A and B are shown apart, each in its own frame.
Chain A
Amino acid sequence: MKNRLPLSKKIKEALIHGGFLVNAVLVILVLLGIFVLLIWTSLPAFEQIPLKEFLFSSNWNPTSYVRESYGMLSMLVSSLLVTLGAMIFAVPISIGAAAFISDLASNRVREIAKPVVEILASIPSVVIGFIGITLIGPSIAKVFDLPDGLNAVNGSILLGIMAMPTIISLTEDALKSVPKSYTEASLALGATKWQTIIRVRIPAASSGIIAATMLGMGRAIGETMTVLMATGCAGAMPNSLFDSVKTMTSVIAIELGEVAYGTAHYYALFVVGLALFLITFAVNLAAEIIFNKKQKR
Chain B
Amino acid sequence: MIKDPVIEVIDFNFYYGDKRALTDVNVKIEKNSVTGIIGPSGCGKSTFLRSINLMNNLILGARYEGKIMLDGENIIHKDVDVVELRRKVGMVFQKSNPFPKSIFENVAYGLRINGIKNKDLISRRIEESLKGAALWEEVKDRLNASAFDLSGGQQQRLCIARALAVEPDILLMDEPASALDPTATIKIEELIQELKKKYTIIIVTHNMQQAARVSDYTAFFMMGKLIEYNRTNLMFTNPEFKITEDYITGRFG
Contact = CB atoms under 8 A, between A and B. Distances in A.
Interface of A: 1-6, 9
A26 B58 CA distance: 26
A99 to B, nearest CB: 38
A4 B84 CA distance: 8
A5 B82 CA distance: 7
A3 B83 contact: no
B236 to A, nearest CB: 36
The 8 closest A-B pairs by CB, nearest first: A5-B81, A3-B73, A4-B79, A3-B80, A3-B81, A5-B79, A3-B84, A4-B81
B83 A4 contact: no
A5 B84 CA distance: 8
Interface residues of B, number: 11
A3 to B, nearest CB: 5
Interface in B153-211: none
A3 B82 CA distance: 8
Nearest to A13: B83
Interface string B69-108: 0110101000111111100000000000000000000000
Contacts of B70: 3
11 contacts: A1-B73, A2-B84, A3-B70, A3-B80, A3-B84, A3-B85, A4-B80, A4-B81, A5-B81, A5-B83, A6-B81
B167 to A, nearest CB: 15
A14 B75 CA distance: 21
B84 to A, nearest CB: 6
A235 to B, nearest CB: 56
Contacts of A2: 84
Nearest to A1: B73
A164 B118 CA distance: 59
Contacts of B84: 2-3, 5
Nearest to B85: A3
A91 to B, nearest CB: 40
B51 to A, nearest CB: 16
A247 to B, nearest CB: 46
